[in-house]
């Protein structure tokens, strides 16, 4: 195995776009491709899977999303949070399987999430965050251990929540690397299997893979350009021919080459994407009119168009920003969380109507959680936090991980209620990567540090919420 | 006449000429038979071939067979007739026929006051592979003999390039006292040979070769203005101003001009002022084409607004446009001041205080029986270090990262430093005569924040304490009485000084400014030369931004035209500025004299003062997928070039050419910002002249020949029988130039 692993790593690290045709030389990739072709030939939904990343940009205060509700743990919570504590009576109760010794609730704006959770279609992963290795408070305060680079900094933590390499800067994310490996499962890759509603992002960038960025209206056409226009003196015909010629020219300057490359890619993808995703959803009218609602509607339409796109695997990225609540945390979350909740409800209903609820998993991510303590009406950048996953494949109504003590100065508090994560993002992501179809042997190509937290040959799942 | 070839490859390489590859000869035995009598003497005279190849003994056996063309009329087109001995952009003449089958031979004569192989050299080229409109690609290259050029099989055009010698002199002076241009006249001769019939429409063209005058020519000035301002104006006034003053003289003049501030326009609107008006005010200033326009300051100020970021994406700031304009004006005023003053002002501006939440940031307090502990807000403390001054990683003086023994970069500070810096940034609140208390001071967004010692953490702190450097300890201080913030400001001043003096600051800040103005991947030497000026402007002053801006724009790496042929030099023009440049070049104006262009953000993924976060629209280290990333280069602006913007922006330009730069028709037609295209309209029937004009004003003469050919064919293809054909033609020409990768790249 060793030589093969090394060669594959080198392949992922060094290959450029021109070498994409060499993908099948790798045996595991070839097998994946054959499996994918077979799956594509049988049609139907049994081999379709998609991940939807809902990235809460700015650092969502997730200790007000999944909240202690029982008397003593609530007292600990409110003691730490002061003015930013949610009233105990307002929390929506949930009844996780296997949780003992405490009670939990969700933010009052998450009524639909509460229902999904109780129906076994959603789960929480608690106190998850970036780690280079398991860490105690004593080790944190010492100097021997390595901490994630740029801990508590937006840009670094957003990056690491997408790259899963907190010990190094990287411009590649694990969904991008997954697409490098899994693209062969798709019958077509003209439109990237990684679709973003929020522009380019690291999560979906790999060696070859990139984010196909669309907006809520779909993909963008080039105006005044029409290959079907034939009248030789019509300006549209002339413009079309000239634009094609410009795309075909060789450019000596690399920045010009890059520009030409981007434009050509955009034009090719447009034609396919908009045809493929034009169908109306069964519950289209039920989507909320928010931007997030429209974004998730576009995701659902793209999932519905998977056949025409030739996609058996897809990932979707939506960044919903504005969670950097240094001020007015309570009122801001009260406004924003119901938007998230309503959009997810409509999305879930679409998937159910399409018969694809078991094939799609939505998960949340964020820069970091926020300090338990407040500076007045807001909270500051912190570390480990709570996230949720939704989908028919999710082993729901469970809390994965141990909900931490929220006592200020508690065992995991490194100051101001910054909680050391007990689950590394690597494990959270590994679960989803394996579910999506990445092989155990390839896991470390996506998540270089996974071996520190999970043995790829382990008979058990990394966390168990999907596998 | 000398026959020994002295071709330089500089001008050819940047036009993507096929001559960088080994030339393949394409004379046929049939052709050669025709040559034997009339051309034998030329061949024996060792005529110039591509890339300096000398033919002294052609034999039929080395030449592949070529079928001779029918009697195609050949016309001659002046592609670029402006040459200067100090600028390696060649003059270009195209020989064109309408068919591509078989070879054509064109006979020409060169005359005029300039002497071949002394004042200039000649070479020939044709479209390389992929030029769809020129018929199927052929491996054949044109062959240039001393008085003949052959259009090879499969090609519609051959270009003759005239590369100026750098040592042209002229004994006569023109009215301005500069040496008079020399001329090259190319005449197509009616050949006695049966193929290659000469069109009678254009039988001679003349190129001008201007000796160097010590001042930049128009092409050089256009290139400079794309870096230092918002590109050339349609009437070339600013171009001629650069030519007259010289680069340094123009910079000096700009630095004395009054500041074109944004706030007065917003204030003039009274209570009707809205968030969108600050974008109008911004456009009004960057589009100022008057005698007093401060374009350099506006350009540098915009760059600063992408480093010291505040954004109306943050709702409390969107509601305060006058305040944001005041902040922007502060950057404009500081653009040619001292970095230390700028950093100090950025930190005390209420907009920054709101955006990064150190306004009314009180010192932390321990837990009590009734309340939890609170802590100083770390937001501004973190970003003033990470983004505004020293950055995350220890740097060498040339901007490269310092590495530890294991080859790893070394952090500049740790979270303890952030905590200490956060304590420095406590105690600020609104100022003004009614600011009688920390919390209840009335809003005052147009004066710097004031300090309250009572809310400032007065304990000792160790700042800049990371592994990067020895800690700087701020002593415990006593509160002023009455509380005028003396102690807190002493901390703040000390922290600002520490950041300004930090060895990272010069390379960190200067490299970013270079990336914004000139090139995405400056050499470490370039960064160091500029950073050295930051450290000492020559008069022992640190942080003199006049010296820094001058060093950036006058550096050899920015000015040497040879850099234009360096494949990794340059940057993508920022998408929003590409549209501003276009508006300048097309003399866009509305009857109201306003530019209410406030809703272009989603087209460009960019709009002034509207970044998605404090990390700006794009990050300095962004590596795009594709050829740039594969070459190991960064290209920050590509972070917002995606499948949406790659097509939205050309769509916007197409619309702007016909219906104006407004996103949609304005309520008041006096606000319609229309391009003024009278100069271009007058050239609609002379397409080569139209393209020469646009090549200068949009590209500084650098439009590659292949682009020139394909654009000319598209424009010429619009028949004069079509309704409004003049408009259609100029729109086609401008659209295609602006949509080309060559226009998108500043180099």
Mean of pLDDT values over A63-77: 97
Give the mutation candidate from A258, A271, A317, A329 for the B interface (greatest B CB count, under 10 A).
Answer: A258
Distances (CA, A) of B435 to B428, B439, B452: 11, 9, 10
Which residues in chain B have Cβ-Cβ distances shorter than 8 Å to A235? Answer: 718, 722, 728, 732
Secondary structure class of B626 (helix, strand, coil): coil
- How many residue contacts between A and B have a Cβ separation below 8 Å? 236
For B745, the closest of A205, A259, A326 (CB atoms) is A259
- The tokens for B588 are 């866009």
Q: What DSSP character marks residue B87? A: B
The single-letter DSSP state of residue B189 is -
Query: Contact A250/B740, CB-based, under 8 Å?
Result: no
B625/A205 Cβ within 8 A? yes
Rounded CA-CA distance B234/B42 in Å is 46
Separation CA A383–CA A145 (nearest Å)? 16
Q: Do A261 and B627 touch (CB under 8 A)?
A: yes
Q: Answer for the pair B224, B553: CB distance below 8 angstroms, yes or no.
A: yes
Q: Is B407 on the interface with A (CB under 8 A)?
A: no
Amino acid A138: pLDDT = 86
pLDDT tens profile A346-360:
999 999 999 999 999
pLDDT band with cut points at 50, 70 and 90 for residue A17: very low
B364, B373, B714: residue with CB nearest A408? B373
B592 touches A: beta carbon within 8 Å: no
Is there a contact between A153 and B386 if contact means CB atoms under 8 Å apart? yes
Contacts of A208 (CB under 8 A, 6+ apart): A15, A17, A20, A179, A180, A183, B625
Chain B residue whose CA is closest to A243: B736
d(CA B179, CA B192): 40
- The ipTM (two decimal places) reads 0.89
Task: Report the 10 Å Cβ neighbour count for B612.
Answer: 18
Q: Do B572 and A244 touch (CB under 8 A)?
A: no
Residue A230: list chain B partners with CB under 8 A: none
- Cβ–Cβ under 8 Å, residues B293 and B260: yes
Q: Which of B16, B382, B742 sits opposite A153 (nearest CB)?
A: B382
In the predicted model, what is the mean pLDDT of chain A? Answer: 88
- CA–chain centroid gap for B458, Å, is 47
The backbone torsions φ and ψ at residue A74, rounded to the nearest 5 degrees and listed phi first, read -65, -40
Spell out which residues of chain A touch residue B623, defining contact as CB-CB under 8 Å: 171
Residues A291, A216 contacting (CB under 8 angstroms): yes
Residue A458, C-beta contacts closer than 8 angstroms, at least 6 positions apart: none
Provide, as residue numbers in chain B, all residues whose Cβ is less than 8 Å from the Cβ of A409: none
Alpha-carbon Rg of chain B, whole angstroms? Answer: 30
Query: Closest Cα of chain B to A80: distance in Å?
Result: 6
Mean pLDDT for A198-226 is 86
Does any CB of chain A come closer than 8 Å to the CB of residue B440? Answer: no
Residue the block writes with tokens 């190129």: B207
Nearest to B643 among A16, A58, A220 (CB): A220
Chain B residues within 8 A of A200 when measuring between CB atoms: 624, 639-640, 642
pLDDT of residue B201: 54
Q: What token pair was written down for A316? A: 């979707």
Q: How many residues does chain A have?
A: 467
Contact A384, A419 (CB under 8 A): yes
The CATH T-level fold of domain B10-214 is Immunoglobulin-like (2.60.40)
Q: Which domains does chain A have, with CATH numbers?
A: 49-218+281-453 (3.40.720), 224-276 (no CATH)
The shortest C-alpha distance from A30 to chain B (Å) reads: 24
CB B638 within 8 A of CB B716: no
Distance, CA of B733 to CA of B684 (rounded, Å): 10
Residues of A with Cβ-Cβ distance to B627 under 8 angstroms? 17, 254, 257-258, 261
Put simply, whether B438 touches A (Cβ < 8 Å) is no
Helices and strands counted in chain B (H then E): 28, 17
Name residue, tokens 């679960």.
Answer: A431
- Check A259 against B378: CB less than 8 A apart: no
pLDDT of residue B314: 76
Q: How far apart are CA B535 and CA B527, in angstroms?
A: 12
pLDDT for B143:
60
Among A210, A238, A258, select the one facing B635 at the smallest CB separation.
A258
Contact A375 B133 (CB under 8 A): no
**What's the confidence (pLDDT) of residue B195?**
45
Q: Inter-chain contact A208–B625, Cβ cutoff 8 Å?
A: yes
Give the minimum alpha-carbon distance from B700 to chain A in angstroms, rounded to a whole number. 16
User: Above 70 in pLDDT, residue A343?
Assistant: yes
User: Please, what are the averages of pLDDT over each run of 10 residues along chain B (747 residues)?
Assistant: 31 33 32 33 30 29 40 84 94 87 78 92 68 31 67 83 88 74 87 46 85 92 98 97 97 98 98 96 97 96 98 85 98 98 98 94 83 82 96 96 93 90 97 92 96 97 67 93 97 96 96 98 98 98 98 98 96 98 98 94 91 87 90 94 88 97 94 97 97 98 95 97 97 98 97
Can you tell me the distance from the alpha carbon of B89 to that of B91, in angstroms, rounded to the nearest whole number? Answer: 7
Cα of B293 to nearest chain A Cα, Å: 31
Residue with tokens 């809902």: A54
**Residue B485 region by backbone torsions, left for phi larger than 0, else alpha for psi between -120 and 50, else beta:** left
CB contact under 8 A, A17 and B735: no
Q: B426-448 burial string, b = 16+ CB within 10 Å, else e?
A: bbbbbbeeebeebeebeebbbeb
Find the DSSP H helices in B306-338: 315-318, 321-334
What's the CA gap between B197 and B99, in Å, rounded? 12
Residues of chain B found within 8 Å of residue A19, distances taken between Cβ atoms: none
pLDDT confidence tier of residue A169, bands split at 50, 70 and 90? low
Distance from CA of B257 to the nearest CA of A (A): 34
- The span from the CA of B642 to the CA of B354, in Å, is 31
In the numeric block, the tokens 């090259």 are attached to B184
Is B719 in Cβ contact with A246 (below 8 Å)? Answer: no
B571 and A255 in contact by Cβ < 8 A? yes
* SS3 call for B299: helix
Q: What is the 3-state secondary structure (H, E, C) of chain A?
A: CHHHHHHHHHHHHHCCHHHHHHHHHCHHHHHHHHHHHHHHHHCCCCCCEEEEEEEECCCCCHHHCEEECCHHHHHHHHHHHHHHCCCHHHCEEECCCCCCCCCEEECCCCHHHHHHHHCCCEEEEEEEECCCCCCCHHHHHCCCCCCCCCCCCHHHHHHHHHHCCCCCCCCCCHHHHHHHHHHHHCCCCCCCCEEECCCCCCCCCCCCCCCEECECCECCCCCCCCCCCCCCCCHHHHHHHHHHHHHHCCCCCHHHHHHHHHHHHHHHHHHHHHHHCCCCCCCHHHCCCCHHHHHHHHHHHHHHCHHHHCCCEEEEEEEECCCCCCCCHHHHHHHHHHHHHHHHHHHHHHHHHHCCHHHEEEEEEECCCEEEEECCCCEEECCCEEEEEECCCCCCCCEECCCCCCCCCCCCECCCCCECCCEEHHHHHHHHHHHHCCCCCCHHHHCCCHHHHCCCCCCCCCCCCCC
Q: What is the mean pLDDT of residues A80-84?
A: 96
| Most distant CA pair in chain A, distance | 81
Give the separation between CA A151 and CA A170, rounded to whole angstroms: 15
More confident position, A206 or B235: B235
Pairing of strands A212-213, A313-320: unpaired
* Mean pLDDT in residue range A176-192: 92
User: What gap in Å lies between CA A32 and CA A439, rounded to an integer?
Assistant: 9
**Best residue in B376, B409, B515, B646 for a mutation probing chain A (most A CBs within 10 Å):** B646
**Are B707 and A246 an interchain contact pair (Cβ–Cβ within 8 Å)?**
yes
The pLDDT of residue B615 is 86
B 92-111 → A contacts, CB under 8 A: none
Cβ-based contacts of B612 with chain A (< 8 Å): 321
Mapping DSSP to helix (H, G, I), strand (E, B) and coil, where does residue B153 land?
A: coil
Within 8 A of A151 by CB-CB distance, chain B residues are 415
Q: What is the pLDDT of residue B231?
A: 97
Q: Which of A173, A182, A171 is nearest to A204 (CA)?
A: A173
φ, ψ dihedrals at A327, nearest 5°: -135, 155
Interchain pair B736, A221: CB under 8 A: no
| Contact: A381, B612; criterion CB under 8 Å | no
Please, which residues 149-188 of chain B have a Cβ atom closer than 8 Å to chain A? none
- Chain A residue numbers with beta carbons less than 8 Å from the beta carbon of B713 are 242
The pLDDT score that the predictor gives to residue B130 is: 27
**Nearest CA-CA partner of B587 in B668, B680, B699:** B680
Inter-chain touch B650–A222, beta carbons under 8 Å? yes
**Which of B373, B573, B625, B626 best probes binding to A when mutated, by most A CB atoms within 10 angstroms?**
B625
CA nearest neighbour of B218 among B202, B207, B231: B231
What pLDDT does B51 receive? 28
Q: Indicate the residue of A258, A270, A375 with minimum beta-carbon distance to B647.
A: A270
What integer pLDDT is reported at residue A375 of this predicted model? 81
Distance of CA A335 to the CA centre of its chain: 23
Of B16, B626, B706, the CB nearest to A258: B626
Distances (CA, A) of B240 to A325, A395, B426, B549: 52, 72, 51, 21
CB contact (8 A) between residue B16 and residue A251: yes
């Amino acid at each position: 195995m060793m030589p093969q692993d090394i060669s594959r790593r080198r392949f992922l690290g060094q290959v450029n776009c021109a070498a994409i045709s060499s993908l099948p030389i790798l045996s595991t990739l070839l097998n994946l491709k054959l499996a994918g072709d077979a799956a594509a030939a049988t049609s139907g939904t049994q081999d379709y899977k998609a991940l939807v990343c809902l990235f809460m940009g700015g650092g969502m205060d997730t200790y007000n999303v999944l909240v202690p509700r029982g008397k003593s743990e609530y007292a600990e919570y409110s003691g730490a949070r002061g003015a930013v504590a949610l009233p105990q009576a307002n929390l929506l109760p949930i009844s996780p399987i296997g949780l003992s010794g405490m009670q939990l609730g969700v933010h009052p704006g998450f009524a639909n999430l509460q229902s999904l959770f109780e129906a076994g279609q959603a789960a929480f992963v608690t106190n998850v965050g970036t780690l280079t290795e398991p860490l105690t408070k004593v080790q944190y305060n010492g100097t021997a251990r390595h901490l994630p680079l740029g801990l508590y900094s937006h840009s670094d933590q957003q990056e690491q929540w997408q790259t899963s390499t907190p010990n190094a800067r990287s411009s590649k994310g694990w969904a991008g690397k997954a697409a490098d490996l899994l693209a062969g499962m798709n019958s077509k890759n003209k439109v990237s299997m990684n679709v973003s509603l929020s522009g380019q992002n690291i999560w979906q960038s790999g060696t070859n893979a990139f984010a196909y960025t669309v907006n809520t209206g779909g993909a963008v056409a080039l105006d005044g350009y029409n290959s079907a226009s034939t009248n030789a003196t019509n300006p549209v015909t002339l413009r079309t021919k000239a634009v094609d010629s410009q795309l075909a020219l060789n450019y000596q300057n690399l920045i010009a080459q890059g520009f030409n490359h981007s434009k050509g890619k955009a034009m090719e993808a447009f034609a396919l994407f908009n045809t493929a995703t034009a169908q109306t959803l069964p519950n289209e009218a039920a989507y909320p009119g928010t931007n997030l609602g429209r974004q998730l509607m576009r995701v659902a339409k793209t999932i519905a168009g998977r056949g025409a796109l030739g996609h058996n695997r897809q990932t979707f990225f939506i960044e919903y920003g504005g969670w950097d609540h240094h001020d007015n945390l309570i009122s801001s979350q009260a406004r924003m969380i119901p938007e998230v909740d309503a959009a997810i409800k409509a999305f879930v209903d679409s998937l159910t109507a399409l018969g694809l609820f078991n094939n799609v998993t939505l998960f949340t991510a964020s820069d970091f959680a926020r300090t338990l303590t407040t500076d007045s009406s807001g909270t500051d950048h912190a570390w480990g936090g709570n996230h949720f996953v939704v989908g028919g494949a999710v082993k729901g109504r469970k809390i994965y991980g141990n909900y931490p003590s929220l006592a200020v100065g508690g065992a995991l508090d490194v100051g101001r209620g910054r909680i050391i994560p007990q689950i590394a993002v690597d494990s959270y992501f590994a679960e989803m990567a394996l579910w999506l179809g990445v092989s155990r042997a390839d896991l470390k190509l996506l998540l270089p540090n996974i071996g520190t937290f999970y043995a790829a040959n382990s008979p058990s799942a990394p966390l168990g919420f999907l596998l | 006449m000398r026959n020994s070839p002295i071709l330089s490859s500089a001008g050819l390489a940047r036009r993507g000429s096929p001559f960088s590859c080994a030339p393949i000869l394409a004379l046929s035995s049939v052709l050669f038979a025709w040559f034997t009598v009339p051309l034998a003497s030329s061949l024996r005279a060792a005529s110039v071939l591509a890339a300096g190849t000398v033919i002294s003994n052609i034999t039929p056996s080395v030449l592949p067979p070529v079928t001779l063309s029918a009697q195609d009329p050949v016309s001659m087109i002046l592609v670029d007739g402006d040459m200067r001995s100090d600028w390696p952009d060649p003059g270009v003449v195209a020989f064109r026929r309408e068919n591509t089958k078989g070879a054509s031979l064109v006979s020409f004569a060169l005359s005029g006051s300039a002497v071949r192989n002394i004042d200039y050299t000649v070479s020939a080229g044709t479209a390389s592979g992929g030029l769809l409109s020129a018929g199927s690609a052929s491996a054949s290259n044109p062959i240039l003999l001393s008085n003949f050029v052959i259009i090879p099989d499969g090609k519609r055009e051959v270009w003759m390039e005239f590369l100026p010698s750098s040592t042209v002199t002229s004994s006569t002076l023109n009215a301005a006292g500069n040496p008079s241009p020399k001329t090259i006249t190319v005449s197509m001769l009616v050949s006695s040979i049966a193929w290659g019939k000469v069109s009678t429409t254009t039988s001679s063209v003349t190129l001008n070769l201007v000796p160097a005058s010590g001042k930049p020519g128009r092409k050089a000035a256009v290139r400079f203005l794309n870096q230092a301002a918002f590109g050339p104006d349609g009437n070339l006034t600013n171009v001629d101003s650069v030519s007259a003053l010289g680069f340094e003289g123009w910079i000096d003049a700009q630095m004395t001009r009054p500041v074109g501030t944004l706030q007065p326009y917003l204030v003039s609107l009274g209570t009707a002022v809205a968030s969108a008006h600050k974008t109008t005010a911004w456009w009004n200033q960057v589009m100022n084409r008057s005698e007093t326009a401060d374009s350099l300051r506006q350009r540098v100020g915009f760059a600063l607004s992408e480093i010291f970021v505040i954004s109306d994406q943050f709702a409390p700031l969107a509601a305060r446009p006058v305040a944001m304009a005041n902040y922007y004006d502060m950057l404009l005023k500081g653009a040619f001041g001292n970095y230390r003053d700028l950093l100090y002002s950025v930190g005390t501006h209420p907009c920054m205080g709101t955006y990064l939440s150190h306004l009314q940031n009180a010192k932390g307090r321990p837990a009590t029986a009734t309340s939890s502990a609170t802590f100083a807000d770390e937001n501004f403390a973190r970003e003033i270090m990470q983004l505004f001054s020293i950055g995350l990683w220890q740097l060498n003086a040339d901007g490269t990262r310092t590495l530890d023994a294991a080859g790893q970069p070394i952090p500049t500070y740790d979270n303890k430093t952030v905590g200490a810096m956060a304590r420095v940034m406590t105690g600020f609140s609104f100022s003004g005569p009614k600011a009688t208390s920390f919390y209840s001071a009335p809003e005052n967004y147009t004066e710097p924040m004031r300090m309250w010692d009572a809310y400032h953490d007065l304990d000792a702190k160790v700042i800049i304490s990371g592994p990067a450097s020895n800690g700087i300890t701020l002593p415990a201080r006593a509160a002023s009485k009455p509380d005028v913030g003396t102690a807190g400001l002493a901390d703040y001043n000390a922290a600002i000084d520490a950041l300004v003096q930090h060895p990272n600051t010069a390379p960190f800040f200067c490299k970013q400014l270079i990336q914004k103005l000139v090139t995405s991947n400056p050499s470490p030497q370039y960064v160091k030369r500029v950073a050295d000026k930051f450290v000492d402007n020559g008069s022992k002053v640190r942080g003199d931004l006049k010296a820094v801006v001058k060093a950036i724009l006058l550096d050899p790496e920015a000015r040497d035209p040879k850099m234009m042929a360096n494949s990794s030099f340059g940057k993508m023009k920022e998408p929003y500025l590409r549209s501003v440049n276009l508006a300048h070049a097309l003399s866009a104006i509305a009857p109201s004299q306003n530019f209410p262009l406030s809703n272009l953000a989603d087209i460009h993924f960019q709009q002034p003062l509207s970044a998605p976060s404090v990390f700006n629209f794009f990050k300095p280290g962004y590596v795009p997928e594709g050829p740039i990333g594969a070459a190991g280069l960064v290209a920050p602006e590509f972070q917002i070039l995606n499948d949406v913007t790659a097509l939205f922006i050309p769509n916007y330009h197409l619309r702007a050419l016909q219906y104006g730069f407004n996103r949609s028709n304005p309520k008041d037609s006096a606000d319609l910002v229309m391009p003024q295209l009278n100069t271009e309209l007058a050239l609609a029937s002379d397409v080569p002249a139209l393209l020469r004009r646009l090549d200068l004003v949009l590209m500084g003469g650098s439009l590659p020949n292949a682009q020139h050919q394909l654009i000319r064919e598209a424009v010429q293809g619009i028949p004069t029988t079509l309704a409004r054909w003049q408009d259609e033609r100029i729109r086609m020409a401008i659209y295609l130039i602006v949509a080309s990768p060559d226009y998108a790249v500043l180099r």
